[in-house]
Structures are given as C-alpha cells and as structure tokens.
Amino acid sequence: MLTKALSLAGWRDGDWPFWFPVLVFAPFIVDASLTLVKRMVAGEHFWRAHNKHYYQCLVRLGWSHRGTALAEYALMLACGVAALWSLRQPLYLQLIAVLGVIALNAALALLVDSAWRRREDHHIESA
C-alpha cells in the first residue's frame, strides 16, 4: 500500500511520469493481473487463497525456491533499469520501453503457462 501511495505521490508531484511505477512494478502487476483474470475466467472464487501465481507455478514445475527468487529478482532489476533509462528518453522511446516491458512479462507468463499445460497433459497421460 505504501508503494502505491509513493508511486501516486511521485506522479502527482511531477517527480516521474505515470508509467514509471507501472514499469518498475511490472512483474508484480502482470503476475497478479493475469492470475486474477485466469481464475475469474475459470470460474474460480478469486478472493479465496490459492497457489496459482507464476512464481508458485515455477516452484511446482521443479524450480528451486532460490532459483525462482533469483529469476524474479533479475526480472525486477531489468524492469527497474528499463524504467530508469526511459526517464531520460524522448516520449516515443518511453512508450517503446513500456510496451517492451509489458511484452517481456507477458511472454514469460505465456512460457510458464505453456510449461504448466505440458505438465498437466503429462500427468493426465500418466494416470
């Protein structure tokens, strides 16, 4: 909550553009948003506890907790660096950076979803 408040305050005060915190926190935003949408489409009670976030799926796919955390940290670092770099760029490059970071996060989510479907298909065939 504090992060959200600081993000909005920075935008309100002219410290950074509106998209800056979106870029910095893209891994969290994309994970939470896509997970929520997928659960709602599947007819699940999205307000109930679950273990379907992407980092949880990676662990259940066999990634270690350490490896998953390091991959998440690397993704967050890349998003943060892209956001900081973009601040000093012309508007068209800022837009490209925002779209690029969103595309990167979405592509990684699709890769995890694909690996999860292969795992589920394998389990169904094995049963």
In this structure, what are the phi and psi dihedrals at residue 44, rounded to the nearest 5 degrees?
A: -80, 160
Instruction: Please enumerate in sequence order all residues whose Cβ is within 8 A of that of 12, keeping only pairs 6 or more positions apart, or say none.
Output: none
What mean pLDDT comes out for the span 80-87?
93
Residue 90 has pLDDT above 90, yes or no: yes
Count of other CB atoms within 10 angstroms of residue 117: 10
Pairwise CA distance, residues 88 & 90, whole Å: 7
pLDDT digits (tens, 9 = 90+) for 28-73: 899 999 999 999 999 998 888 888 899 999 999 999 999 999 999 9
pLDDT value for 3? 58
Beta carbons within 8 Å of 25's beta carbon, 6+ residues apart: 3, 7, 79
> Is the entire prediction scored with pTM above 0.85?
no
What's the confidence (pLDDT) of residue 127?
Answer: 61
Q: How far apart are the first and last CA of the chain?
A: 44
**pLDDT (tens digit, 9 = 90+) per residue, 111-124?**
999 999 998 877 77
